[in-house]
Structure 1
Amino acid sequence: MTPPASSPAQNDFLVSETDLWLLAEGTHLRPYEVLGAHAFTHAGVAGTRFAVWAPNARRVSVVGDFNRWDGSAHPMRARPSAGLWEAFVPGVGPGALYKYALEDPNGQLLPLKADPYGLAAQLRPETASQVATLPALVPASAARQAANAVDAPVSIYEVHLASWRRKPEQGNRWLDWEELAAELIPYAVDMGFTHLELLPVSEHPFDGSWGYQPIGLYAPTSRFGDAAGFTRFVAKAHAQGLGVLLDWVPAHFPSDAHGLARFDGTALYEHADPREGFHQDWNTLIYNFGRTEVRNFLVGNALYWLERHGVDGLRVDAVASMLYRDYSRKDGEWVPNRHGGRENLEAIAFLKRMNEVIGAERPEATTVAEESTSFLGVSRPTFAGGLGFHYKWNMGWMNDTLRYFGREPVHRRHHHHELTFSMVYAYSEQFVLPFSHDEVVHGKGSLLTRMPGDRWQQFANLRALYGYMWAHPGKKLLFMGCEFGQAREWNHEASLDWHLLGDSLHAGVQTLVRDLNRVLRHHPALHAQDSEPAGFEWIEADDSQHSVFAFVRHGREDGQTMLVVCNLTPVVRRDWRLGVPRPGRWHERLNTDSVHYGGSNAGTPWGVAGTEPIPSHGRTHSVLLTLPPLSTVFLEWAP
């Protein structure tokens, strides 16, 4: 009897023995090329090959709109050596909907499961996977590698695609990939940002998770169109010189019945013990990083986004929750590691492996850790004992800075250290300075409303804050809406308040951010040595009485020097003598109190200060400046 097309003869396997070996060993760099649904020609017949990992299932079938969701129509054949099941279905092509029907080890039928390696998915609330063409490999780019380098100017615009801009006249709908490419990319380019960072675009069932509880880790969300549309979006961003980073979530996944939870009737992707496998904070499941196939699934996914969609890098979410077994847990609610400690050794090994694979296979890409603890070496190479990330979010800087700027100026003298402390550890890691979506949700208000004083002072404080941020060592990240001083807290179900740009103060903040990005790009002193102590020099760190800070940023080449002065009280300070590192003329390049930004236009006359041979602040030469109120001023040296 001739076997059906869905059950090839025993000597006619669909997945090769080599692939099985690499998958079982956990060294298959691109498991997505083998598992999932792929175009395939079998015995001269075109169709789709399906393969899924379900080692403990008693029986598996592929069901879909091509067989009326009938679990008896296309049973899959087991490949026990790797715990895989495979099937070929003739005539099935891109666009077909499918799931897997599985029986658990006891023969009980499980809820239909979406494909863990599915390349596309239905729009929620539907939950089927969709057959899609594997995107072509995106070639490496020397231009992108230069743009992602540690000494490059990096200013990141963080975006939640569903609420950046909507179409209220069309039922408040989202923009699709083509519209986002036509509107978001030119806007970010005009604003001078170097990169977009997108909140997770992996398919997720609940809008309110913002993408941080994904189920389809290999599927760009269908909210904005098909998967190919996302690939085109990234390509169009690159064509305009804009990089694309993705928020990526390997820490946990939701427990929805159609997802990874107890995929084959057992704790397959997650830990069986809830003390290891359940996140109390988020009501989600934790990946079993000690399992070979799970690590392979995640490492392959990281490489997939970089190679197949061409994204520039991954910002890894919730790294702190991965590093520690007792994260947000009380005594007795967690299981120590094999040495009796609290570190999650398996998660640490996974993160190192992921960064090593990316470094070897996609060296132009960058990885960023959202890590909020004092774990050592997050952004150090693995060969030096680190985790291998390129950058770590500087959460300490963010918290201290917002705490300081949120204080009434009269009280700031008592908290001067909140701005100076960051330089104590500024070079312990390679940092990104983040004002992210997390700072404008959950009752925190907006950055603007967190500033003290009347309306004018709130805007002046915000402008001074941004000036200080762009001058401080570290790459920059700003969440959408913050660039024009959105007044209300972010709402993921509504568009940003673009109408505020009709107000001169909001428009002034936007102009300032655009100019800050321009200055950052054009002056190596502000970026070339972001991660090197030689790039920073304090001039005045101790004047708590006047809340004045002054420092110099240095580029690699002689003469690349920028003096930055912050006056964080609402008082104009005239004839302010400040020591400088070299004689010459210091030209004002940016003043956050400029009338163009909504300020009072105070400042040093003509915007130029010549040095005098008068010692001050331990330097042989000094300048006399006028310090505007609640301001940050940039002055560039010229001989």
Structure 2
Amino acid sequence: MTLIDPAAAQALAEGRHSDPFSVLGLHPDGAGGWRIAALVPGAAQLWALPETGGDPVEMTCVGPALFVCRWPGPWAEGGAYRLRGFGAWGAWDFDDPYRFGPVLGEIDEYLIGEGRHRRLWQALGAHPITHEGVEGTHFAVWAPAARRVSVVGEFNHWNGLTHPMRARGATGVWEIFLPGVREGARYKFEIKGPDGCLLPLKADPVGFGAEHPPLTASVVRRLGTHGWGDHDWLSRREAANRFDAPISIYEVHLGSWRRVMEEGGRPLSYHELSEALCDYVRDLGFTHIELMPIHEHPFDGSWGYQPVGLYAPTVRHGTAQEFAGLIDAAHQRGLGVILDWVPGHFPTDAHGLARFDGTALYEHADPREGFHRDWNTLIYNFGRREVANYLLANALYWLEEYHVDGLRVDAVASMLYRDYSRPEGEWVPNIHGGRENLEAIEFLRAMNAAAYGGAPGIMTVAEESTAFPKVSAPVHEGGLGFGFKWNMGWMNDSLRYMAREPIHRRWHHNEMTFASSYAWTENFILPISHDEVVHGKGSMLGKMPGSWEEKFANLRAFYAFMWAHPGKKLLFMGQEFAQVREWAQAGQLDWSLLDYPLHAGMRDLIRDLNRLYRDRPAMSWGDGRPEGFAWIDADDAEHSVYAFERRAPGQPPVVFVVNFTPIERSHSLRLPQPGPWREILNTDAGPYGGGNRGNMGRIEAREGEGGARAEICLPPLTALLLEPEGA
């Protein structure tokens, strides 16, 4: 009797059999006995070895790399056997992957099929496990249109004929357990598309590690091995992330923050950053670090905003375990960590998600819906439940596996509108004929609800540049559910104002007051981000007009205005010490500038602003409440002077006043109460690089017509912060 069907043997040899587990491994031989079939490229001879003892059984070669034998004796029903091969590499013993049962259970299948597997990463990807008493790695991937999927790697000489995977029915998931494959193994998926053609080798969409670019393979990484020491931080994180808490964010691109110039200019490792970056940020008084995307990405120049490995921390700085150590180190210093997260688009690289199984699987088939002209990237099909589930689970992955404290979602406007950056006639309306991307809106709501529900105390932040309503309102109130939104309007208006020569500022006074008309419609963050200091925009110092000293004075006054204004704060690295050049991701910050007093003074000003912001509840309580803010003088356009009060219940008020002209002024300032007031900050102070002009640290407010007033000196291009003496 023939032990194996010739057609099946031919299909296996040609790599086109869609169900290899139905042939390979241990199966009834049709005559009351058992037989073993094994596909082992590179073997000239093969034996089956009973694990419980007994003589090896030589197998017969019945086709290219295909061996078969009858399996006699008492070992048949137990199925416990190993294989011994002999070929050009000598002899080797190994476990047959096709004698092992499935790993994924029915619940996994059901949830994946429904698009409701919140912890998708626990089912898909590459997981080192012990299965049926044997150590190895379980691989699983979603590729519903594929005719055949194989795992390839160094362990099988990248030969896709060696380890074709098991299809898991209608879910479109393929899986296999490979005995002996350990953490650190490189791998990809070889996929035969629905037309029978082989696709370029694909990295794992749920891979937890990757090779160092420009290499593109995924790497087996074990999750959950870091011993966390951040319990104290997690227990108070919710209070630190509240909308009325002082939140001051230092935005960092890890690759260009600092480099080891003595070693060829390499970027710092996660381990080195755990000390150098975290200590620096804590010393400056920031409350949070925001990391530009650390997901694995092929092109350095994308800064991580074109990710291929959404589940893999980039290996440019070390392993996934070392990245966990960086987060833990920040937490143990009282710092929250926010990740930039990019669910809005992905690159077209052949090894990535593009046409992953030979079809438009993750993206839209129609380029009018699925292609971003601005970035030459593809757009996720948010209306496909499995794709939405893939992204939602990814958000939870970073929050749960790495204890991340928040996600800042990039390019939200491009997700909300189908006509984003598209001319008329080159976009597809929604089912109601409108421009809103209803599927993306529903995804964002689901993501935010899941994130806040699954990881208490976290925050989500939207980079959203339009007037879309209720971005930071809860989902149950009809909002998108974000905790905060970047205030792009404030940023554009204020930077436009500051770039003007002071003599012209009187004609544009409203650019600095307009934000107060909408400051509490959302929970805003005031961002001076990387986008404002790159691509020819110059550094923050470079935007300022005037002489060299006046540039610094302008910037000091602006930073004080920003820290006093309602809204949380975000500053991109290097701007805290007045980087002169605009940012370049291929180098490092110009740290030598700190040897010069004007630059060191700017850094010291940021440290003091952060201290005041943290220590004075009046400066943060009203960030999200109009009761915490009141204009004192919003109309002095002639002198370019602004003054306002910050308040908090039961706390002393803080008054801010600024002179945005290079002329010293005597100013009559209305104050909330009479009596002595002290300057708690003067941006013209000598330690900051100023001229030490002002009010000698103290002023007296006297009751008069219209309330308490004080005559104060406003130095040129200077901001003052005042509070009642004895507060």
Q: TM-score range by the shorter chain?
A: over 0.9
1:585-634 CA distance string (max 9 Å, x none): 22110011111101111111x3112221113xxx4111111111101100
Match of 1:548 in 2: 641
Match of 2:685 in 1: 594
How far apart are residue 77 of structure 1 and its match? Answer: 0.6
How far apart are residue 136 of structure 1 and its match? Answer: 5.5
Residue 529 of structure 1: SS of its match in structure 2? Answer: helix
The answer to whether the 8 Å contact 1:55/1:80 transfers is no
**Pairing of 1:129-528 with structure 2 (within 5 A):** 129-135=218-224, 141-528=234-621
CA distance in 1, matches of 2:406, 2:378: 25
How far apart are residue 41 of structure 1 and its match? Answer: 2.2
Match of 1:585 in 2: 676
The answer to whether the 8 Å contact 1:7/1:77 transfers is no
CA distance in 1, matches of 2:605, 2:234: 31
Match of 2:17 in 1: none
CA distance in 2, matches of 1:520, 1:328: 38
The counterpart of 2:664, out of the listed 568, 572, 578, is 572
Q: Which deviates more, 157-166 or 583-592?
A: 583-592
CA distance in 2, matches of 1:595, 1:506: 12
1:170-210 CA distance string (max 9 Å, x none): 11111111111121110111111111101000000000000
Q: How many residue pairs were aligned?
A: 631
CA distance in 2, matches of 1:429, 1:637: 30
Match of 1:631 in 2: 718
CA distance in 1, matches of 2:286, 2:154: 44
Letter aligned with residue 587 of structure 1: R
Runs of at least 5 residues in structure 2 that lack an aligned partner in the other structure:
1-24, 28-37, 39-95
1:443-487 CA distance string (max 9 Å, x none): 011110110000010000000000000000000000000000000
Match of 2:172 in 1: 83
Residue 690 of structure 2: SS of its match in structure 1? Answer: coil
CA distance in 2, matches of 1:483, 1:239: 23
Match of 2:74 in 1: none
Match of 2:704 in 1: 614
CA distance in 2, matches of 1:268, 1:580: 62
Verify: 1:109 aligned to 2:201, yes or no.
Answer: no
How far apart are residue 42 of structure 1 and its match? Answer: 2.2
CA distance in 2, matches of 1:50, 1:540: 65
CA distance in 1, matches of 2:429, 2:546: 49
CA distance in 1, matches of 2:335, 2:458: 14
Residue 612 of structure 1: SS of its match in structure 2? Answer: strand
How far apart are residue 72 of structure 1 and its match? Answer: 1.2
The answer to whether the 8 Å contact 2:462/2:471 transfers is yes
The answer to whether the 8 Å contact 1:448/1:458 transfers is yes
Verify: 1:49 aligned to 2:135, yes or no.
Answer: no
CA distance in 2, matches of 1:145, 1:95: 36
The counterpart of 1:539, out of the listed 625, 628, 632, is 632
How far apart are residue 75 of structure 1 and its match? Answer: 0.8
CA distance in 2, matches of 1:496, 1:80: 53
CA distance in 2, matches of 1:473, 1:585: 25
Match of 2:189 in 1: 100
The answer to whether the 8 Å contact 1:587/1:607 transfers is yes
CA distance in 1, matches of 2:648, 2:290: 26
CA distance in 1, matches of 2:648, 2:293: 35
The answer to whether the 8 Å contact 1:6/1:76 transfers is no
CA distance in 1, matches of 2:453, 2:339: 20
How far apart are residue 81 of structure 1 and its match? Answer: 2.2
Residue 191 of structure 2: SS of its match in structure 1? Answer: strand
Runs of at least 5 residues in structure 1 that lack an aligned partner in the other structure:
none
Letter aligned with residue 608 of structure 1: R
CA RMSD, Structure 1 to Structure 2 (Å): 1.2
CA distance in 2, matches of 1:457, 1:311: 40
How far apart are residue 523 of structure 1 and its match? Answer: 0.5
How far apart are residue 638 of structure 1 and its match? Answer: 3.8
The answer to whether the 8 Å contact 1:325/1:335 transfers is yes
Letter aligned with residue 610 of structure 1: E
The answer to whether the 8 Å contact 2:683/2:690 transfers is yes
The answer to whether the 8 Å contact 2:205/2:310 transfers is yes
Residue 275 of structure 1: SS of its match in structure 2? Answer: helix
Residue 513 of structure 1: SS of its match in structure 2? Answer: helix
Letter aligned with residue 562 of structure 1: V
CA distance in 1, matches of 2:297, 2:676: 56
The answer to whether the 8 Å contact 2:525/2:570 transfers is yes
Residue 49 of structure 1: SS of its match in structure 2? Answer: strand
How far apart are residue 147 of structure 1 and its match? Answer: 1.5
Letter aligned with residue 602 of structure 1: R
The answer to whether the 8 Å contact 2:26/2:99 transfers is no
The answer to whether the 8 Å contact 2:183/2:220 transfers is yes
Report percent identity of matched pairs.
59
Residue 621 of structure 2: SS of its match in structure 1? Answer: coil
The answer to whether the 8 Å contact 2:529/2:571 transfers is yes
Ranked by relative contact order (alpha carbons within 8 Å, sequence separation 6 or more), the top structure is: 1
The counterpart of 1:40, out of the listed 129, 134, 140, is 129
Match of 2:82 in 1: none
Residue 407 of structure 2: SS of its match in structure 1? Answer: strand
CA distance in 1, matches of 2:677, 2:235: 36
Letter aligned with residue 584 of structure 1: G
CA distance in 1, matches of 2:400, 2:687: 43
Query: What is the TM-score normalised by the length of structure 1?
Result: 0.97
The answer to whether the 8 Å contact 1:7/1:76 transfers is no
How far apart are residue 518 of structure 1 and its match? Answer: 0.7
How far apart are residue 511 of structure 1 and its match? Answer: 0.7
Match of 1:562 in 2: 654
CA distance in 1, matches of 2:725, 2:624: 24
How far apart are residue 121 of structure 1 and its match? Answer: 0.3
Residue 448 of structure 1: SS of its match in structure 2? Answer: helix
Residue 556 of structure 2: SS of its match in structure 1? Answer: helix
CA distance in 1, matches of 2:105, 2:724: 65
The answer to whether the 8 Å contact 1:572/1:602 transfers is no
